Chain A
Amino acid sequence: NAGVTQTPKFRVLKTGQSMTLLCAQDMNHEYMYWYRQDPGMGLRLIHYSVGEGTTAKGEVPDGYNVSRLKKQNFLLGLESAAPSQTSVYFCASRTGGLHTEAFFGQGTRLTVV
């Protein structure tokens, strides 16, 4: 049971380039989340999804897009990367229910130069 898997684990982008981060979960979870974490700070919610085909904005959605075409996958896209998007990105998923445990991936370290 792999849990939550993020691809890639590391990436360096040039300003203006685009890329997609993939989050895959094999637990049949309804809810999925994308966060970013900057040095010395907590996690900030970018976008989330409450089910296949649905997405919603979190605290810091600007500059990012997401898609949830399949229940097990949640994609985070950067159309035109900026140095301010240098961060560690974490994906999480959880099953339905008000207070179920969330499971996190190991993170993707993205550097935009």
Chain B
Amino acid sequence: DAKTTQPNSMESNEEEPVHLPCNHSTISGTDYIHWYRQLPSQGPEYVIHGLTSNVNNRMASLAIAEDRKSSTLILHRATLRDAAVYYCILRDDPNQFYFGTGTSLTVIP
């Protein structure tokens, strides 16, 4: 799996949008971009994934740069429950699944 770079930590005010960046300059044409998050003392949970086009689901939106060298996870309205570590993962191998260190998001009431 290709390498991703994320900020170690970010802060957001409650009820405001949050943009979590991820750089993946060495991404290949077959790499999908996946996002997972890990709430305190829990296992990771799936958030969203995409290849080229922007994606939306009930949890978040994924904006992918035209050259695919970066992407942004967007939480439209942060809540206290969104405080977690967010992992950006590139995958082109169905057998393996590698996590980096992620971005720790703090939501301020």
Closest B residue, CB atoms, query A107: B43
Complex-state Cα separation, A99 to B50, whole angstroms: 9
Using Cβ atoms and an 8 Å threshold, which residues of chain B touch A77?
A: none
Q: Are B45 and A104 in contact (CB under 8 A)?
A: yes
Q: Mark A93-107, 1 if CB is under 8 A from B, else 0.
A: 000111101111111
Report the count of interface residues on B (CB-CB < 8 A).
Answer: 22
Sorting the interface of chain A by its residue count into under 10, 10 to 19, 20 to 34 or 35 or more gives 20 to 34
Q: Mark A27-67, 1 if CB is under 8 A from B, else 0.
A: 00001010100001111110010100000101100000000
A24 within 8 A of B: no
Q: Are A45 and B96 in contact (CB under 8 A)?
A: yes
Q: Are B95 and A48 in contact (CB under 8 A)?
A: yes
Q: Mark B38-82, 1 if CB is under 8 A from A, else 0.
A: 000111111001000000000000000000000000000000000
Q: A41-B101, A42-B100, A42-B101 given as contacts; is B91 within 8 A of A104 (CB)?
A: no
B41 CB → nearest A CB, Å: 8
Complex-state Cα separation, A96 to B100, whole angstroms: 23
A92 within 8 A of B: yes
Using Cβ atoms and an 8 Å threshold, which residues of chain A touch B85?
A: 42
A90 within 8 A of B: yes
Complex-state Cα separation, A101 to B59, whole angstroms: 14
Q: Mark A57-94, 1 if CB is under 8 A from B, else 0.
A: 01100000000000000000000000000000010100
Using Cβ atoms and an 8 Å threshold, which residues of chain A touch B46?
A: 101-103
| A42-B99, A43-B44, A98-B91 given; 9 more Cβ-contact pairs under 8 Å | A31-B95, A42-B102, A92-B44, A92-B97, A99-B49, A102-B44, A104-B44, A105-B43, A107-B42
3 closest Cβ contacts across the A-B interface?
A: A104-B43, A43-B99, A101-B46
